Amino acid sequence: MSKRTILALTAGGALLAAGCGNQDVVTSNDNVVAGKQKFVQKCGSCHTLARAGTKGTVGPNLDAAFRQALIDGERRTTVRGIVYEQILHPANLKNHSTGTQMPPKLVEGQDAHDVAAYVGTVAAKPGKDAGLLADAVKAAGGGEAAVEKNGTLQIDADPSGQLAYVTKKATGQAGPVTLKMKNTSGTPHDLSIEGNGVNAKTPVTQKGTVQAKATLKPGTYTFFCSVPGHRQAGMQGKLTVK
């Protein structure tokens, strides 16, 4: 392993990865489509990986972490092995800016192999995934606008674990409203509203449904997740109140 790679691992502090794909990165038992899906669900809230479409900021940017090492000749099979070992045993990897650490065995068994194979294949690789990989994860936030019904405005978190809601648009009527969010992803989220003097938020939940009360005036609002790093990664949308 190169000295540059070691520095990237110890400085970044959580899950690790590498770049573009030699065929020998993937073994006969690996399923990179499942690996992409599992990565987005379990790892994307903390890590940026361009081809996976994830923008997490709690942990290191996986494209940046290994780009130079790969340019310098680091083998992708080596990096894939590093990814796998750090998924299972991240004890020495800590994000020093936040004090957080990835739990060991966030994914296990074949899932860990699949995630390591996918990340080892695509990190720091220009362009976009093609074929089955392109369709492995549904684009976040592309659903129909949420519409207030009977005084309740429900905007659910993306179930795949991406840092997004199921939609980026919502409409409502002026007056008292119950803000509601369902989260089945396992990634902590809340639903916050700001604008026109209103600041309201639901409790944070990893799995479950939460709600809060607010009184809205006609105008435009922003709804967003207040969990650190989530809004910055794009977990927000526009609420129009008539």
- List the structure tokens of 96: 């020093």
| Contact between 166 and 143 (Cβ < 8 Å) | yes
Q: Are residues 41 and 92 in the same domain?
A: yes
Q: Please report the pLDDT score of residue 57 as a whole number.
A: 80
Q: 220-242, pLDDT tens digit by residue?
A: 999 999 999 899 888 999 999 99
Given a cut of 90, is residue 19 above it in pLDDT? no
Q: Are residues 30 and 59 in the same domain?
A: yes
Given a cut of 80, is residue 18 above it in pLDDT? no
Tell which of 105, 133, 161 closes a domain.
133
Tell which of 98, 133, 168 closes a domain.
133
Q: 170-204, pLDDT tens digit by residue?
A: 999 999 999 999 999 888 999 999 999 999 999 99
In a domain, 140, yes or no: no
Residue 125: count other Cβ atoms within 10 Å of its Cβ. Answer: 17
- What is the CATH number for 189? 2.60.40.420
In a domain, 30, yes or no: yes
Residue 92: count other Cβ atoms within 10 Å of its Cβ. Answer: 10
Full DSSP string of 62-124: HHHHHHHHHHTT--HHHHHHHHHHHHH--TT---TTT---PPTTSS-HHHHHHHHHHHHHHTT
Task: Report which listed range, 93-97, 158-162, 167-171, is most confident.
Answer: 167-171
Q: Are residues 102 and 37 in the same domain?
A: yes
In a domain, 195, yes or no: yes
Q: Are residues 117 and 196 in the same domain?
A: no
Q: Are residues 190 and 237 in the same domain?
A: yes
Query: What does the alpha-carbon distance between residue 201 and residue 192 come to, in Å, rounded to a whole number?
Result: 4
Tell which of 110, 133, 156 closes a domain.
133
Task: Supply the range of the domain harboring residue 75.
Answer: 3-133
Q: Are residues 36 and 84 in the same domain?
A: yes
Q: 122-159, pLDDT tens digit by residue?
A: 989 999 999 999 999 887 778 899 999 999 999 999 98
Residue 155: count other Cβ atoms within 10 Å of its Cβ. Answer: 23
Given a cut of 50, is residue 107 above it in pLDDT? yes
Query: What does the alpha-carbon distance between residue 233 and residue 162 come to, in Å, rounded to a whole number?
Result: 10
Q: 35-70, pLDDT tens digit by residue?
A: 999 999 888 888 899 999 888 888 888 999 888 988
Q: Are residues 123 and 151 in the same domain?
A: no
Instruction: Tell me how many domains the chain contains.
Output: 2
In a domain, 94, yes or no: yes
- List the structure tokens of 234: 């794009």
Q: Please report the pLDDT score of residue 91 as a whole number.
A: 63
In a domain, 56, yes or no: yes
In a domain, 19, yes or no: yes
